[in-house]
Amino acid sequence: MTGILIQYAALPIKLVEQRPQVLMVTSRETRRWILPRGRPEKNIKAAEVAAQEAFEEAGVVGQISTKTIGGFDSTKRLRTGVEAPTRVRVYLLMVEQELDDWPERSQRDRQWLPLDQAIDLASEPGLADFLRSFAALWSTQ
């Protein structure tokens, strides 16, 4: 039995007419719509890991929050095929640049979506719930 894994995710956002749009990517194997995310790395801060994953998986760079804005529970399919419970901690990334070429471009799709559509497209219930909470917070600002 595997313990709970930790992953750090970026929530890539850009404003269109003062409304947030979210950049989602597909996972490599199952093609589910997710946020760019990765596992902790030695000597690298969690927010920096999230920003690096956003660059590698989605081809975006920008200003990453230094503190988590929340999180959700998920699963990660390991190389063995086992699905391990995973806690995902999310960091807000205000996107400043979207690249035409990035390391995992040939392995993933990416798509900008208004929050309501991102919620509908989210493949994981925990991610959809997280996005609903983010949308509710955003609308009160």
Total domains in the fold of the chain: 1
pLDDT at 62: 98
Q: How far apart are CA 38 and CA 27, in angstroms?
A: 11
Render pLDDT for 83-131 as a digit per residue (tens, 0 to 9).
889 999 999 999 999 999 999 999 999 999 999 999 999 988 999 999 9
In this prediction, residue 1 has a pLDDT band, given cuts at 50, 70 and 90, of: very low
49 lies in which domain range? 5-139
Render pLDDT for 8-40 as a digit per residue (tens, 0 to 9).
999 999 998 888 999 999 998 888 999 999 999
Q: How far apart are CA 50 and CA 44, in angstroms?
A: 10
The angle at the Cα of 45, spanning 44 to 49, to the nearest 5 degrees, equals 75
Q: How far apart are CA 96 and CA 74, in angstroms?
A: 28
Instruction: Locate the DSSP E strands across 27-140.
Output: 33-34, 37-38, 60-64, 70-77, 83-98, 110-114
Could you tell me the CATH number of the domain that includes residue 55? Answer: 3.90.79.10
Q: Is the pLDDT of residue 140 over 70?
A: no
